[in-house]
Amino acid sequence: MKRRKFLGTAVTGGLALGDAAALQDPGRMQAAGRPSPALPPGVTPSAYTVPHSEYGASTTPDYFVYTNDLVIERNRPGKPHKGKVLAAIQAHSDDIPIFCAGTVAKLIDEGYTGYLIRLSNDESGPVGNRGPGWTLGHGVLQSQTDNDAVAKALGCKKAFSLGYQNHRMDEDALIEIRGRLIFLFRLLQVNTILTYDPYNQYEENPDHSVVSNAVQGACWMAGEERDYPEHFKAGLKLGGVREKYYVGRAAQGHNTINRIVDISSYIDVKVRANVAYKDKGSAGDAGLRLKQALAKQGKKLPLLGDDDDTANFNYVKHFMMGDNRVLGAQYGVEYAEAFHYIGPSGSGPNLRENRRKYIDTHAVPL
C-alpha cells in the first residue's frame, strides 16, 4: 500500500480540522482538545488531529471524529470468544499487520479462530529488497509467501488469497468479489470481521475502497437465505457476521472512532506480523538492511542488536509502532489501535421484546 508523506513537524495537539495555518506554523498548535482561535465564536470542532510519532505517521490517520459513546476495549481473561470466528480482510499483505494486527492477535488469544483473507496479488506493491532481475511475477510469489507468514505470526488457522490485480481492483466486478466473500463467510461461519472502513472518506488507494465496500455488502448478504441459494444445496449454512472492526486509514479523511483497543499485551505479536512481510519496504528486513548499510560506513546502531532477527524486530517496534504508542498514551495504555466499531444488533435494546410488551400493555378489546 502507498504511504503518505508525513509533515516535518509532528502534530501533537487536538487541533480543529480547519486550522490549516496552524499546521504550517507549529507554534500556533493548540493544546489537546482546545478549539483553534481561528474558528468563529460558538463553533465546536468536528474533527481533531491525531498525534503522531516523531518517526513518521504510518499506523494512524491525521484526523479522527470521535463519537460520544467511545469505549476502551481491554484484555478479557480466559477464552470469552471460544467458538467464534473472525476474518481479517486486507487488500495487500501489509494492511492488517500495520493497522489492526494487535487487535486480531488479542481476539484470537481470547478464543477466536482467525482467518486472513487477502484480495489482491500485490504484484506492484512497494519495493522491498529487490534485485535488478526482479519482476512482477516475483512480487506475486513473495507476497503470497508473506501473506501466509503474516497469518502464522498472528495465530490464524488459515490464509486465503483471491488474486485480483494490485491497484486495479476497481476494474473488477464488485458483485463477483462480494460473492466470493459471501461464500467464505458462510463456509467459515464468520462472526466478526476486521477491515477498512467503508464509511471513510478520501481513501486514495482504490483497492482499499473496493475491499471495504465488498466486505460491507457480504456481511449482510451472507445472512440472507435468498442470496446464492445454491450454497445451501451444497451444504453451506447462513452466515452470521455480527461484529465489525473498521479501521480508518485515509490521511485526510474524517475517520469516525468509537472504540480504542488496548493492544499493549500484543504489541510484540504485531511487530512479528510486520516483520513477516518482506516485499514491502516499510518493515520486513528493513532493520537488517539498515544494519548492513551502517556497517559499510563503519558504524552500528545499538538498537539493532547483534543478529538479523533482533535488528528487524527492534527496528519495527521502535520506528513503526510509534503511532500506536502515542495513541495509547492518550488513553492511559502503552499501545492502542482505533476503530469504527459496529456491534451485534442484539447488544442494543431488544426491539422485538419491547414491541411485544407495548402491545400486551396497550391492546384493548374490540
3-state secondary structure the chain: CCCCCCCCCCCCCCCECCCHHHHHCHHHCCCCCCCCCCCCCCCCCCCEECCCCCCCCCCCCCEEEEEEEEEEECCCCCCCCCCCEEEEEECCCCHHHHHHHHHHHHHHHCCCEEEEEEEECCCCCCCCCCCCCCCHHHHHHHHHHHHHHHHHHHCCCEEEEEEECCCCHHHCCHHHHHHHHHHHHHHHCCCEEEEECCCCCCCCCHHHHHHHHHHHHHHHHCCCCCCCCHHHHCCCCCCCCCEEEEECCCCCCCEEEEEEEECHHHHHHHHHHHHHCCCCCCCCCHHHHHHHHHHHCCCCCHHHCCCHHHHHHHHHHHHHCHHHHHHHHHCCCCCEEEEEEECCHHHCCCHHHHHHHHHHHHCCCC
Please give the CATH number for the structural domain made up of 73-265+321-347: 3.40.50.10320
Angle at 61 between CA 5 and CA 152, to 5 degrees: 95
Cα 244 to Cα 216: distance, rounded to the nearest angstrom: 9
| pLDDT confidence bin for 39, thresholds 50/70/90 | confident
For residue 32, pLDDT beyond 50: no
**What average pLDDT is seen over the chain?**
85
Instruction: For residue range 177-230, list pLDDT tens digits in order.
Output: 999 999 999 999 999 999 999 988 667 889 999 999 999 999 999 999 999 999
Q: At 338, list the grid cell.
A: 482505533
Separation CA 107–CA 101 (nearest Å):
10
Q: Which range, 51-60, 134-143, 159-168, is most confident? A: 159-168
339-366 pLDDT, tens digit each: 999 998 655 566 778 888 999 999 999 9
Check if the beta carbon of residue 282 is closer than 8 Å to that of residue 289. Answer: no
Q: Tell me the average pLDDT across 242-264.
A: 87
Across residues 240-246, what is the average pLDDT? 93
Packing angle between helix 267-276 and helix 95-109, nearest 10 degrees?
140
- Angle between helix axes 267-276 and 308-315 (nearest 10 degrees) is 110
Q: Name the residue ranges covered by the structural domains of the chain.
A: 73-265+321-347
Query: Residue 91 — very low, low, confident or very high, per pLDDT cuts 50/70/90?
Result: very high
Share of the chain above pLDDT 70, in %: 83
